Amino acid sequence: MTEPLVSVLIPAFDAEATIAETLQSVLAQTWPRLEIVVVNDGSADRTAEITKGFDGVRLIQGANRGAAAARNAAYRESAGDYIVFLDADDVLHPEKIERQVRLLEAHPGEVSCCRWGRFDGDVSKAAFRREPVWADMDPVGWIATSWLGGGMMFPGAWMVPRAIADAAGPWDESLSLNDDGEYFTRVLLAGGGVRFSDEAVVYYRIGGGANLSASKSRAAFESGYRVCELATVRLMASENSERTRKASATMYQRFAYDCFATAPDLAAKAEARAAELGGSDLKAPGGSVFQTVASVAGWKTAKRLQSLVRGERK
């Protein structure tokens, strides 16, 4: 019997500093049947040249259209039974793919996530922090746990059967910030469950360049608000319950805290949606001084003062 084919799909934009290590980690996988598709998303550096130096890697050249469009282009060119969306700066443990394939072969119709650690330059020094979502769960339970603060999974931590990816539909190319949150909400709800692999490992790179997820621009926050809208509609359509309303309200409230300094109007809309859903007890994040000010004058005043202090320090 032929082993399943796994497609590793990598969007790459100005990734010359990291793409080689990423590709080496994929080529070192113990799983025998892989296809690797890299979409060069209009890079102005040596990303394409470095990628061409690796045998067994298919390179697709394209104009800069964003990571979602690059992932969709890679998916259209792929043929795998299982799909891994890997960013061009993250790294796989050699057994990552094999462990997840074996798990999903034993549990058809489900998706898999895995253990992951943060690293900055040296994978051997990656830091792992166990989170509540590191467990087998039903799809709604996993999403609710994550939104309530139970942790996250970035694209490279997932493995998705092609039938579920087809059912979920393509990445939304109109989104930037948290586009993976919206996409994997659809993926999980299209599947029958989430299987966590403690043996499969992926390494998430921090630092060392621009990070879209950390963007503070108005356009990024507009995308983030749209993700809140799209994802909560999907979740509530699947299950309208106390846990999903609380989880959705908490996601909106967290977004309000994040975007208030840059987009107070979006923060106000998000708070209103959180209230409509029943409210959230999530506190605004901050140190002891921030919390003291917030307890007296409210979190918005504390945020304004925090922004002023940070502005003076620049």
Residue linked to tokens 């948290």: 178
Q: Looking at residues 132-154, what average pLDDT do you find? A: 98
Do residue 261 and residue 248 come from a single domain?
A: yes
Q: Which residues of 218-247 are buried (b: 16+ CB within 10 A; e: fewer)?
A: eebbbbbbbbbebbbebbeeebeeebbbbb
CA–CA distances in Å: residue 128 to residues 118, 124, 172: 7, 11, 30
Choose one of 196, 213, 230: the last residue of a domain.
213
The pLDDT score that the predictor gives to residue 211 is: 46
Which ranges in 191-241 belong to alpha helices (H)? 218-238
31 shares its domain with 41: yes
Residue 18 has pLDDT above 60, yes or no: yes
CATH code for the domain in which residue 18 is found: 3.90.550.10
193 with 246, same domain?
no
How much is the pLDDT for 63? 96
pLDDT of residue 314: 43
State yes or no: pLDDT of 256 exceeds 70: yes
The count of structural domains within the chain is: 2
Same domain, 100 and 63: yes
Q: Are residues 202 and 229 in the same domain?
A: no
Can you give the residue range of the structural domain that contains 183? Answer: 6-213
Residues 169, 31 share a domain:
yes
- How much is the mean pLDDT over the chain? 95
Q: What is the mean pLDDT of residues 189-208?
A: 95
> Does residue 205 sit in the same domain as residue 236?
no
The domain boundary, picked from 146, 180, 213, lies at 213
Average pLDDT of 198-214? 76
pLDDT at 212 over 60: no
Residue 215: predicted pLDDT: 64
Asked if 209 and 224 sit in the same domain, the reply is no
Assess if residue 272 is contained within a domain: yes
27 assigned to some structural domain: yes
| pLDDT tens digits along 39-52 | 999 999 999 999 99
- Tell me the two tokens of residue 162: 């092609």
Predicted pLDDT at 216: 79
Residue 1 lies in a domain: no
Residues 257 and 205 reside in one and the same domain: no
**CA nearest 201: which of 113, 87, 301, 71?**
113
**Cβ-proximal residues to 110 (8 Å cutoff; 6+ apart), any chain:** 104, 161, 191, 192, 193, 194, 195
pLDDT of residue 87 exceeding 50, the answer is: yes
Indicate if 77 and 136 belong to the same structural domain: yes
| pLDDT at position 207 | 79
Q: Under the phi-then-psi rule, with left for phi > 0, alpha for psi from -120 to 50, and beta for the rest, what region is 202?
A: beta
From 160, 179, 213, give the residue that closes a domain. 213
Same domain, 268 and 119: no
Whether 259 and 198 share a structural domain? no
What is the percent of the chain with per-residue pLDDT over 90, rounded to a whole number? 92
Q: What is the pLDDT of residue 310?
A: 75
pLDDT one-digit tens code per residue, 213-250: 446 799 999 999 999 999 999 999 999 999 999 999 99
